[in-house]
Structure 1
Amino acid sequence: MTVVDINRLLGPLPYDEVASRDPAGLVGELDRLRIDSACVVHTHAVYGDPRDGNESLTAVEETDGVRLRPVPVLIPGPLGTAEWQGSGGLVRLCPGEHRWSLTGGYALALAAALARTRTTVLLGWETVTAAEIDQLASALPTLRIILTGTGYRSLRELAELMDRHGELYVDTSTLTGHLQVEWFAGRYGARRVLFGTGAPVTDDAGPRFQLDTLALPDSETALIAGGNALRLLGEAEDP
């Protein structure tokens, strides 16, 4: 079973000392938890200027693009990170941290470019509202969005959104309630649930242990562990 953490940070945190402050430390954490690879956003791109953080990921891609998969942070508009020139892969949007509207004109233009190029979006639940997610997914139904950090108290809103929009996915970083992952897999299919930790901001050992104890068929657990991530990254075929 291949394990891919879809939601991980690399770099120093402004309020804590963490092992994942550099690539070697993060790889050590992955080894400790038996995680094969991680999709990583640089902390400078979240807590500082995304252009600096994204540039820091260039060296990571050149030296260790297998264990650590770089994920750029994008900002729309003339004061943003420039027009999207990529194709496929994964990006992160941080409207709350960088103070821009998810449903504004610039954001919708960027999202349309991401949808056209089959680029998947990581979007933190705490940075937007359910109404904004609904509006974005309705405007661009082919845009693939992975919602992270959803948590227990958001389940009613999250379930309604996932019922309405087939290209919404969820990571497991905060799906820690009893049989919560199993419920999502049963209702929406295991293909819409992805292993993610949100580490080091949120715990990584809990979601990794949960992965080994899911009450699901091995084939579905394998999809959640890494199969879905590899498919969305364009490295595996649809099951």
Structure 2
Amino acid sequence: MTTDQDRRPHETAAPVVDINRILGPLPHDDVPSRDETGLTRELDRLGIDTACVVHSHALYGDPRDGNGQLDLIDDRRLRPVPVLVPGPLGTDDRYAGTDDRYADADADRSVADPDRSVDGAAALVRLCPDRHGWGITGPHALALTAALARAGSAVLLAWEAVTPAEVHRLAAAGPGLRIVLTGTGYRSLRDLTELLDTHPLLYVDTSTLCGHRQVEWFAERHGAHRVLFGTGAPITDDAGPRHLLDTLDLPDGDVALIAGGNALRLLGGEA
């Protein structure tokens, strides 16, 4: 094992992909990423090649407005991540690869139809049940996540937005649904370990894994393929996770997976 003094930045040409980032103005702060130009400058400054971005309007306002802002992105380094809301007052179903409304009386039947088109489904979506007032294990939500699993989409889900029991039920109800839990940390370690041991398609991001050797522990305990680089910026710090990535006490191959390989695999529809 190396010490902090022995540790050196990893020399790898692996792409760095921030799986968890916000584009747009914040209601409580003036941030560089309030527009596309400012965000890309921040990525350049930190040596981040690609960022998967939700729009702040989708988090703090109407997800339909925020998702519409994603259609205006010009820089291909920014990968749009729509925020989805299930049910009759929800978002455009095209992001889940279906034209049906999840509130339809035959929603369960339409989602289960193997011949239904999944064209246009987003590779990665974000679910915010706490912010937008819906239950993550309700019938509309389960219909939505079943459609996402069938379409090959992955899901970002904040740890503080759900309970461990809800994560367990969601993962058990939707075989094939890949869920990246963001905002985890030391206090969630026991629950996370049980969940990751039980559900092989659960992953974590690095946005708040800032304790001593937490990322190394997850990689060694559950496999480096289940840890994705993510900052949560600008809500949480981006420079810290980026520096940590360069100094991880892990083999270069594992670091390359965490830096961007795992994210690219998820975005390509692979487990």
Match of 1:82 among 73, 92, 96: 92
Instruction: Provide structure 2 residue ranges, at least 5 long, that are not aligned to the other structure.
Output: 1-13, 98-119
SS at match of 1:59: coil
Q: Which residue of 1 aligns with 2:81?
A: 71
- 1:29 matched to 2:29: no
For residues 37 and 92 of structure 2, what CA distance do their matches in structure 1 show? 30
**How many Å apart are 1:141 and its aligned residue?**
2.7
For residues 189 and 237 of structure 2, what CA distance do their matches in structure 1 show? 20
Q: Which residue of 2 aligns with 1:43?
A: 56
For residues 88 and 201 of structure 1, what CA distance do their matches in structure 2 show? 24
Q: Which residue of 1 aligns with 2:218?
A: 184
For residues 107 and 87 of structure 1, what CA distance do their matches in structure 2 show? 16
For residues 25 and 199 of structure 2, what CA distance do their matches in structure 1 show? 35
**How many Å apart are 1:67 and its aligned residue?**
1.1
Q: Which residue of 1 aligns with 2:4?
A: none
For residues 71 and 17 of structure 1, what CA distance do their matches in structure 2 show? 22
Match of 1:156 among 178, 184, 190: 190
For residues 118 and 57 of structure 1, what CA distance do their matches in structure 2 show? 20
For residues 24 and 106 of structure 1, what CA distance do their matches in structure 2 show? 37
- 1:173 matched to 2:207: yes
TM superposition score normalised by structure 1 = 0.96
Contact persistence 1:134–1:161 (CA under 8 A): yes
> What stretches of structure 1 move > 3 A for 4+ residues in a row?
none
Contact persistence 2:64–2:92 (CA under 8 A): no
TM superposition score normalised by structure 2 = 0.84
Contact persistence 2:81–2:122 (CA under 8 A): no
- 1:7 matched to 2:41: no
Q: Which residue of 2 aligns with 1:137?
A: 171
**How many Å apart are 1:151 and its aligned residue?**
1.9
For residues 36 and 92 of structure 2, what CA distance do their matches in structure 1 show? 26
Supply the RMSD in Å over aligned alpha carbons: 1.2
Bigger radius of gyration among the two: 2
**How many Å apart are 1:50 and its aligned residue?**
0.3
**How many Å apart are 1:88 and its aligned residue?**
5.3
**How many Å apart are 1:187 and its aligned residue?**
1.1
Match of 1:228 among 221, 239, 262: 262
For residues 222 and 209 of structure 1, what CA distance do their matches in structure 2 show? 14
Q: Deviations over 1:178-222 (max 9, x none)?
A: 111111111111110000000000000000000000011101100
The number of residue pairs the alignment matches comes to: 234
For residues 130 and 195 of structure 1, what CA distance do their matches in structure 2 show? 22
